[in-house]
Amino acid sequence: MDSDNNSTFISTPLAIVLGSFVIAVAILISGGVIQLQGVKTLGAQASPLPQVGASPLPQAEEPAGPMEVSLDDDPVMGDKNAPLTMVEFSDYECPFCKRYFDQTLPEIKKDYVDSGKLKIVFRDLPLSFHDPMATTEAIAANCAREQGGDSKYFQFHDEMFKRTTSNGDGLDRAEIDKIAADVGLNASNFKTCLDTEKYKDEVSKDLADASNVGADGTPTFFIGKSEAGNKITGTKLVGAQPYSAFKTILDGIK
Amino acid sequence: MKFLLTALSVSLFYILLNVYISNYQVINQAFLGDFTFEYRSALMFSLIQGLTTALSATSLIFLMIISVLTGLNSAMLIKKVNKGGGVHLMFGGSMLGTLGSGCVSCGLPLLGVLGMSGSIAYLPFKGLEFSVLSAGLLLISFYLLLRNSKKECVIKSS
């Protein structure tokens, strides 16, 4: 091959590679702009109510090891004195959260929660691109909790995950009201609670905490030993991982 | 044979890279901390298995296509480098693929690393664009490498 052919041989694929790299960078830059807007709207989109963290939520610098995560005053599934704790950041409109709920949670519940080894703290991370329904559903679950505590919260939570088809339009207001009636909530009180977005601040607080611990997708889990002081130092696990991933981490906690 | 082994190794590496990007904190912790070999291997095995539960079917298919194409492109380039063609890296298409595939959650791991997670969801096909573009670029790249590689065999008569 002469030098011209040699040059073409290398330069053509290289041009494609460089071209794709330029496209990647361009998309990333535009993505950054979109994300800035997206972060601003986290917990605030389509709502006139006050919010926590109105400015872009800062991405926390993540430590290499386990991270300290607050349990806040959020609903707890299982024995509150269980030796292990898992904090779940979730979005009722996220299809991967639904998949985790359908496929993995039942096994974790059977083997760890029901036996008193683990408690699961559910925290809201309604993603802005699933709003307004994601935030509405998160508020609705908190309205259910107001009427019947954690037990009613998880009844409502279970029904929403069972019935939603996800991706931002999995449920509508009529279906949420129907779920409220089906789990035995006082319809009038529930309607007032949801219409006034009574727990909007609570949901926004969860969003801010999620951002502080680097939970930027759903579902994200933090798994660790239960500690005093309403927090855990947990291992971060991202995605609808299989039961074996949770089991490995839970069994490996020393 | 060497070509296929290289392609396979790079493909596997690419898949593992996606697994790592999705859950680098827990993997770092397992490998840098005081954990047994059994723990580490069980964790890695379950996270690899997690590709089937934590990805949509479309994402998983594209991940496989892009990993194979990345492997083939890399093997071709390595072959060329060994023949004295100089060192050139082929990362662009694969990088796009990494951005678009491996979405184990609602929000992308690599974009998350870059502080941009979530932005992809505003695209019409929720990031599938990256995968399609990536697969297309890698396919063109491989085709051109293959075509030029054949040209190399032509013996000019004087």
Q: What is the complex's ipTM, to 2 decimals?
A: 0.74
* A151 and A213 housed in the same domain: yes
Domain identity same for A141 and A240: yes
Position A187 in a domain? yes
For residues A112-119, average pLDDT: 96
Same structural domain, A204 and A112: yes
Distance from C-alpha of A31 to C-alpha of A33, rounded to nearest angstrom? 5
Tokens 């950041």 -> residue: A89
A248 in a structural domain: yes
- Indicate whether A150 and A227 sit together in one domain: yes
pLDDT-derived band at B96, boundaries 50, 70, 90 = low
Q: Which residues contact B101 (CB under 8 A, 6 or more apart)?
A: B18, B55, B59, B62, B63, B66, B130, B131, B134
Residue B94 has pLDDT above 90, yes or no: no
The per-residue pLDDT for A31 is 37
| Same-domain check for residues A8 and A86 | no
Give a three-class secondary structure readout of A106-127.
HHHHHHHHCCCCEEEEEEECCC
- Do A73 and A15 fall within a single domain? no
Query: Do A9 and A113 fall within a single domain?
Result: no
Which range is least confidently modeled, A25-39, A93-107, B142-156? A25-39
A52 within some domain: no
Could you tell me the strand order of the sheet in which A231-238 lies? A67-70, A231-238, A220-225, A84-90, A118-124, A76-77
Mutate which of A35, A37, A62 to disrupt the B interface (most B C-beta within 10 Å)?
Answer: A35
Cα(B98)–Cα(A24) distance, integer angstroms:
11
Out of A211-220, B57-66, B144-153, least confident range: B144-153
How far B149 CA sits from the closest chain A CA (Å)? 8
Calpha distance B55→B58 (Å, rounded): 8
B88 touches chain A (CB under 8 A): yes
What Å distances lie between residue A209 and A68, A217, B43, CA to CA?
11, 13, 27
Domain that holds residue A24: 1-41
Distance from CA of B75 to the nearest CA of A (A): 13
**DSSP string covering A27-92:** HHHHHHHHHHHHHHHTTTTT--S--S--SPPPPPPPPSS-EEEE-TT--EES-TT-SEEEEEEE-T
Residues A27 and A74 occupy one common structural domain: no
Structure tokens given for A220: 């994200």
Of A62, A96, A252, which is closest to B39 when you measure between CB atoms? A252
pLDDT at A49: 30
Query: Taking a C-beta distance cutoff of 8 angstroms, is the pair A55, A89 a contact?
Result: no
The pLDDT of residue A23 is above 70? no
Same domain, A127 and A217: yes
pLDDT tier at B65 (50, 70, 90 boundaries)? confident
Residues near B69 by beta carbon (within 8 Å), at least 6 away in sequence:
B93, B135, B138, B139, B142
State the CATH number of the domain containing residue A96.
3.40.30.10
A37 and A71 fall within a common domain: no
Whether A75 and A35 share a structural domain: no
Tell me if A82 sits within 8 A of A115, measured CB to CB: no
Of B28, B85, B116, the CB nearest to A35: B116
Does a structural domain hold residue A60? no
What is the C-alpha to C-alpha distance for residues B85 and B51, in angstroms, rounded to an integer? 37
The tally of domains found in chain A comes to: 2
Task: Strands of chain A (E only): list them.
Answer: 67-70, 76-77, 84-90, 118-124, 220-225, 231-238
Check whether residue A93 and residue A160 sit in a common domain.
Answer: yes
What phi and psi, each to the nearest 5 degrees, are found at residue A85?
-135, 140
> So what's the pLDDT on residue B78?
79
Q: Which of A115, A119, A200, A187 is nearest to A147 (CA)?
A: A187
